[in-house]
Structure 1
Amino acid sequence: MMYLPSVVSAKHIGGFRVHLAFDDGVQADLDFERWLRGPIFEPLRNAEYFSRLFVEGGGVAWPNGADIAPETLYEAAVAEQSNRPLQPAAAVREKRAEYKPSTRRRRG
């Protein structure tokens, strides 16, 4: 089984910035403005509407159905923490490489 990051909390901290916490302990303050492109994201360009964000399906979503996938957010969070350029899916690949599935048997 591959590791898929999941947002466990998201808090609007002003403008288009959000503090995210992931299920593995990674945390970051990200500027979401870079993702607010296209018709579905147009309402989010209003800061008041943007602040109505919530966690859903491991990512961040809004009442109009717009959402940002957890892998995208995780990659940006890890890049932000390490001060390295954002590389497509690199953070998720690194985390998957570290993942070691449990060898314990499940009772069932």
Structure 2
Amino acid sequence: MNNPKIKKIKIDSQQYILIVLFDNGILKEIDFKEKLQNDFYSDLKNKMLFEQAQVDIGGYGVSWNEDIDISEYELWNIGKVISNESILF
């Protein structure tokens, strides 16, 4: 089964959280605080960089720059489903 692609994101740089709307209508919250302990993501502790997150073309992931990204597969698997009513895009 293919994972849903990313449609939109909302960034909460104060809490290091991404809210991700997938193309199947599911909204998930991804808390990046634990990921920031990993060397690969440690630069994202800079809130200005964290705020630069962009959905990749085709919804296949989220990228911050040429070096830091995360796939839709991983976001789907680590995200926590939240109510559509709690976040307005």
Give the TM interval when normalised to the shorter protein: 0.7 to 0.9
Residue aligning to 1:53: 53
Aligned mates of 2:74, 2:24 — CA distance in 1: 15
- Asked if 2 retains the 8 angstrom alpha-carbon contact of 1:8 and 1:58, the reply is no
Change in CA separation of 1:73 and 1:44 when aligned onto 2, cut-off 3 Å: same
Percent of aligned pairs with the same amino acid: 26
Structure number, greater radius of gyration: 1
- Asked if 2 retains the 8 angstrom alpha-carbon contact of 1:7 and 1:20, the reply is yes
Coordinate RMSD, CA, aligned: 1.9
Alignment of 1:3-42 (within 5 A): 3-15=2-14, 16-36=16-36, 37-38=38-39, 40-42=40-42
Aligned mates of 1:42, 1:35 — CA distance in 2: 8
Matched length: 78
Aligned mates of 2:64, 2:13 — CA distance in 1: 16
Note the alpha carbon deviations across 1:42-96, whole angstroms, 9 max, x for none.
321111111110011511111142111111111122xx228xxxxxxxxxxxxxx
Q: Secondary structure at the match of 2:2?
A: coil
Unmatched segments (≥5 aa) in structure 1? 83-108
- Higher relative contact order structure (alpha carbons within 8 Å, sequence separation ≥ 6): 2
Residue aligning to 1:68: 70
- Asked if 1 retains the 8 angstrom alpha-carbon contact of 2:29 and 2:81, the reply is no
Letter in 2 for 1:70: E
Residue aligning to 1:88: none
Q: Secondary structure at the match of 2:33?
A: helix
Aligned mates of 1:18, 1:11 — CA distance in 2: 6
